[in-house]
Each structure stands twice: as C-alpha cells, then as structure tokens.
Amino acid sequence: MDPYVRTAGLDEADLTVINDALSLVRSADARAVVRDLLPGLSEGEQEAVAAHCDVAHAAALVFPPSLDGLTASLRADGFIVGEAIPSVVVRERLSRRYRLPLAALEVTILHVQAPAVGQRACEIELFVLEAVPGTELREIVSRERVERNESHLALEVRAPDGVVLAGLRALLADHGGLAADGGGYNSLENCTVLYFLCTAVDGRGGFSATGPVRSSRLEVRARGHHPAVLAAHRGAEPGDPARRLLELMTGAWTTQAIAVAAGLGLADQLPGPSAAEAVPGSVAELAGRLAVDPASLVRLLRYLAAVGVVAPAGDFYELTELGAVLREDSAHSMRSLALLYGGPFYRSFGELAHSVRTGEEAFKALFGKGHFDYFAERPGMAELFDSAMASSGAMFEPIPGLFDFSHARVVVDVAGGNGQLLGLVLAHAPHVRGVLLERAHVLEAAHRHLAGAGCADRCSFVDGDFTRAVPEGGDVYLLSRVLHDWDDEQCLAILRRCAESMHDDSQLLLVERLLPGTEEGKRGDVTPLAVAWDLHMLCNVGGRERTADHYGRLLETAGFELLSVRGLPLDGNLLHARRRG
C-alpha cells in the first residue's frame, strides 16, 4: 500500500504538508540526519550522537475544520491513528508567536503510523488546530502553511538519563551550531522535548537527509522529566527581555517554595520518579497528612511543577529526579540546605545592599555576629548547618581516586566537618590513620559518622582553632571548602599554620569552587556555580571565591607550590600543592 494520504476533502495545503512529512521520515536514518545536520562535528562525534538516537517521526502542523474528520480520512487511507493528546509545547509556541491567550488555542497531537514499506514502518506526528474558514485563526493558518514553523524531524534518545541528555544537548548546541528553539515537558506523554533550529547548514537553512523534502527544525525526545536539561535549554533561547527579567526577579519565590516544601517534608510524602511506584492518594489526603490548607497546597504543587521539582501524575503529583534530592533518605539529601538557604541565609541576603555598600558581611550586621559564632551558640542551627554542608558530599567521592594515598600514613583533615571526606580517604586507604580538627560541638557528629563508616578507630579527634594551630606530623593535609570562608589575610594565616606543621614531603589538598578566568575554572559556556557563591560568601560569611591563579599566589606566598587542579562534581575542584623545602 502506498503510504501517502490521498483522501479528497482535506485541504490541499494540509495534504501537501502531511505527505511531505511522510516523505521526510520514510528515508531518514539517524546517521544520515546527523551527517547532514551537523557537518561541523567530527566523525566520531557524529557517530556518538547517532549511537544514542533513533529517528522517531516527522512532524507537521495542520488546520482541518474538524479533528474527527481528519482522523476518519487518515484511517480511510489505511493509517493507524493513535489517541488524541493535548499539546503543551506547540500550543505555547503558537501563543507566544501570535500573542494569543492559550485559551484561544486548542492544539491536539495525533500520532499517525503509515502502512509499512518493506520492513520499515513510518510514523508522523500531526499537531492539529481546528480552523473553520473565516475564523479569527486565519492569520495563523495562512502564515504557518507558508512558513511551516512547526515542521520538524524528531530523534528519540534510546536510553535517556540526565547525563546523556545533557551531553547531547550541549553537543548539538555548543559544537553542532544548532540554536535552542523551545522545549517542554508533556506530562500526558511523560516526555521531555528539546527543539533546535537548523541555521543555514548548506547556505539555505535546514537539512536535506531525504533529498528535496526539507525541515528547518529538529526535535530531540527523551522519555521522562528532565527539568535541569530543560532549564539549560530554555535559558539558551532568545526571548523577551522583560519576561526573562521577570523570571530572574522572582527567583526568591522559588527559594521559598522549595524551602517550604523542605520544611513540610513534602518530598517524603510523594512517590519518586520511578515508574514502578504507584501514585497513591490525593492532594486532599496529602494536605491532611501535612496539616496544611488543601487549596494552598495545590497552588504550591503547581508552582513546584513549573520549576521541575514535582510532576503531575493524573490527579496527584510525583517527584522528579530533581525533587527526589529533597527526600530525607536521599543520598546527599539537600533538604537541610534548602532550609538553610530559605531561612537565615535568605534573611541576610535581603541585606545584600549593606554588603555591596560597605564590603562587610550582611549576616553580622543583621544577627550581631558572624554566622559561625551565631550557629555555635544555637545547637539546632549548628546541626542544620553541618547537615547542609554534608549535602555536597558528592563533590568528595572522586578524590580518593584522583590522589595517590599509598605513601601516606597520616592524613589530617583541617576543619573537616562531620568527617565525610576523611571517611572516604580512610575507607579507600586502610593503612592510613586520620586526624580530624574541628570545633567541639562538631566533633561529636564527626565521631558518629566515622564510627558508622567503620573508621573511627583509626582516627583522632582534636578540638582546636585552625587559625592558631594545626596538628603536626601529617603526610597529607586536607582543607575542604575552608579557604573560601575567609579573606586573603586569614587564608594566608591558615596556610602558614599548615606549612609550619608539615614535614618536607607533606602534601596539601584543597577543595574549592573556582571563579572563571583559568581553564580549570571554566565550564564551557555554563556560568560556574562559584560566581553565585562568591556573592553568597560576601553577604553571609565575609569570604570569597577565587580563581585557580589567585589560590596559586596565596599558596606561593605561604610556602607552597601548586601542582595541579582537577575537576570534581558540583563544580568543585581539587587543588594539589606541596610544601616547598
């Protein structure tokens, strides 16, 4: 059977666009599409993209007077038409393009499978906007039939996860030269879509993997909800400056929404992103368990869904991969960090103007003393702070494999918090003994953590002030996220205390985020987290983030030589230095 639509009665323009989509998808394969679309990539990069993707379908926007009539016509020609699904992304795109309210646009998605040709079945995706002749939609109909803005070819990511999808997106946009052109998450299909504009690949725009039929847009589809990748993609889109500024100015609302969710323990009451988990109960039942107003909880959940923390699941909600990190039992749970950033640090950040005007930390001006002393006097706050710092433990996990501890006998962790990093080192190197220097109220938590890891019997716990003295005799000294809390003068004092306690062969490992300005501090075109944390340190601690070169100068002044800088998760960096003899 010829896989084309021939039924009389459909508008000729719609017939043409449908059959063009069929022609495009009939002969397209992932390798040919990638070769034509991304000639700037190396052959290996092209193969890598094609290895992760299959051609899913070609898509087009059509304007029949009746959705039911279109469905009947397609079936009469032998096509299999799936259930109609409301569109999210294309509807929003048309609304923005023509400045019409969403309520005026009812766009439906039809998945249409054509009769097989040989061993290959063809599928097209039709976006259907019913348009009776003479209606107010005539401008959309006339323009879209000429411009075909929504016609595209779709690639399906075979085994999507956040890492694979983020890598593909970066490769297509940063190296392949494609422009971000919208995207979204359709909860009814449980699918994240990323659109790209193919900009003048061959001098005419678009690509020609199938000869004369052309498409100027590419869709990358991935099962599941991937909010972090989607946010990065949307952030790369050119858009309305006023709208973007509004989004930035309301960022504090997101901080508080997440903090409130953390305070309620909301994440612990919702099913996770695994499809194997059933979605129980209702929002009303959830409100009863949390002792909150049901209508207000609905509004909070709707907002959290908009920022990717939860996702609609029928009449209820489930956690996304992003939201699951707020669970108390999550590895490296960020619940405490959300409470800290939405609590005392949120209040002091409201006084940022004081820090900018004076160069002094706003936290001290607001609370009367620096946050270390303030928290130490309040056991509940101190526990919250220490728990929040532990949430970034993923940054430490690669360190035992990045540094050779085989020649070390004693590792000294200076201001090591609850001992997360030291515990990883001791587990990796059973011959090593550890020394943990901390404030008295922190040592108890550190002892519990290291005892749970089976390492406490190989560790000494020292109550002390690292600005005054550091335990002697260590082969390796660790300073993890310590120096960014202090100004340069205090950093030099800390480093000199370390140098005084070291022998000639001692090594120093620093863990810090780096500001851009050196190759080690850059993360492609993505703004390093250190840029935001630098402002945070100004406001709440009185310290600062630094470039690798800045740390290198401090180390040299204190008697060290910086040997290497290695990247870590969460934009962390491992700086390896040795004491100069």
Nearest CA-CA partner of 80 in 113, 119, 121, 127: 113
Residue 310 · residue 185 · CB < 8 Å = no
Nearest CA-CA partner of 154 in 200, 187, 192, 106: 192
Helix and strand counts by DSSP (H, E) for the chain: 25, 20
Nearest CA-CA partner of 196 in 225, 167, 170: 170
First-to-final CA distance of the chain: 83
- DSSP code string of 535-557: HHHHHHTS---B-HHHHHHHHHH
Q: How far apart are CA 28 and CA 24, in angstroms?
A: 6
Nearest CA-CA partner of 308 in 357, 355, 273: 273
Residue 6 · residue 141 · CB < 8 Å = no
**Residue listed under structure tokens 């869904």:** 305
Contacts of 272 (CB under 8 A, 6+ apart): 318, 319, 324, 327
Specify burial of residue 474 (Cβ count, 10 A radius: 0-12, 13-18, 19+): buried
Q: How far apart are CA 144 and CA 206, in angstroms?
A: 17
Nearest CA-CA partner of 365 in 540, 516, 231, 532: 540
Q: How far apart are CA 62 and CA 281, in angstroms?
A: 39
Active site residues: 484
Residue 111 structure tokens:
């998945």
Residue 80 is given by DSSP the state: E
Q: How far is CA 467 from the centre of its chain?
A: 37
Residue 129 · residue 140 · CB < 8 Å = yes
- Amino acid 510 reads L
Residue 42 is given by DSSP the state: -
For residue 575, what is the enclosing H or E element? Answer: strand 572-579
Nearest CA-CA partner of 423 in 478, 465, 497: 478
Contacts of 52 (CB under 8 A, 6+ apart): 157, 158, 159, 164, 168
Q: How far apart are CA 540 and CA 374, in angstroms?
A: 12
Q: How far apart are CA 261 and CA 113, in angstroms?
A: 43
| Range list of β-strands (E), 331-444 | 410-414, 433-438
Give the angle 174-179-185 at the CA atoms, nearest 5°.
100
Q: How far apart are CA 547 and CA 530, in angstroms?
A: 9
Specify burial of residue 189 (Cβ count, 10 A radius: 0-12, 13-18, 19+): middle
